Amino acid sequence: MSLGTRTTTAPAGVEALLADARFELMPFESFDDELTHLPEGATVAITTSPQLGIERTVERAEEAAARGYDVVPHVAARYVTDRDHLSDIARRLTDAGVTDVFVPGGDREEPAGEFESALDLLTALEETSYSFEEVGITGYPEGHAFIDEKTLMDSMERKEPYATYIVTQLCYDPDAVVEWVEDLRERGIDLPVEVGIPGVMKYQRLLKISRKVGVGDSVKFLKKTTGVLGFVRQLVGSRGTYRPDDLIDGLAPYANDEHYAIRGVHVYTFNETADTEEWRHDRLQG
């Protein structure tokens, strides 16, 4: 079933996507201030920064959990040195009350130690004395700049037994997401999906970030919906600010469909939470 067969925006679908949205923050100096714009007890994913390393991620996770947030730290495989380091991270997170971790490979060119991939770390985590109720892995609706589609899907199938959900890479195109989820289901991968969406921010910054993370087709989607002139009008009319309304409206008809198992959105805030939270609140109010 393709996206074109479901064109009606479903209010219940919008609520299902946005009511319990997950907010991704980077562990920079602005972290504490960004938290103040989020709902009490919100789910906060914390990235692993190439500049600050995984120690800062763990520290921020401990701090945010102590403040009552539902914390999901990124335990990026290529930033963990060895099994002792992994056990120490798992112990600290467990002691902090963390029950959910996200395990990407990490964008470090050379691994810090023995873990080359997310799969390496996931299998090692199974051998520690610590476990988590939820474990997330990465999905790529539009592929990866350096990894072919077959390799991505083969990797997904190998990681699936260790995971409980998938978070997609940043995406703007609901059609691409739906088709990718359909492909997962055809392959027998039944993990629920959290769709990674951009938050509200200036177009220029968002496009710069998108190019950096290799979201080429999604950048084209911003233009192809109304053509280049339409894109320019939207850019000017919005005062240069992107809002993910079209993306949410395109996904909403699928949000409560058990076949797709889209359980919500993962908002890439890039530490600009205030405008995103205001937008989310407005959409939920209708």
189, pLDDT greater than 70: yes
For residue 144, being part of any structural domain is answered with yes
For residue 130, being part of any structural domain is answered with yes
Report d(CA 167, CA 102) in Å as an integer.
9
231, pLDDT greater than 50: no
Question: What SS3 state is found at 128?
Answer: coil
For residue 221, being part of any structural domain is answered with no
143-167, pLDDT tens digit by residue? 666 677 788 888 999 999 999 999 9
Q: How many domains does the chain have?
A: 1
238-275, pLDDT tens digit by residue? 557 888 998 999 999 999 999 999 999 999 999 999 99
227, pLDDT greater than 50: no
Mean pLDDT (the chain) is 87
The residue range of the domain holding 172 is 3-202+242-285
For residue 207, being part of any structural domain is answered with no
CATH of the domain at 89: 3.20.20.220
Angle in degrees, CA 163, 218, 104, rounded to 5 = 25
31-71, pLDDT tens digit by residue? 999 999 999 999 999 999 988 999 999 999 999 999 999 99
213, pLDDT greater than 70: no
For residue 81, being part of any structural domain is answered with yes
Q: How far apart are the first and last CA of the chain?
A: 28
For residue 219, being part of any structural domain is answered with no
Is the full-model pTM beyond 0.95? no
Q: 142 or 9: whose pLDDT is higher? A: 142
For residue 34, being part of any structural domain is answered with yes
The DSSP secondary structure of 215-263, one letter per residue, reads -HHHHHHHHHTTHHHHHHHHHHHTTTEE-THHHHHHHGGGTT-TTT-EE
For residue 84, being part of any structural domain is answered with yes
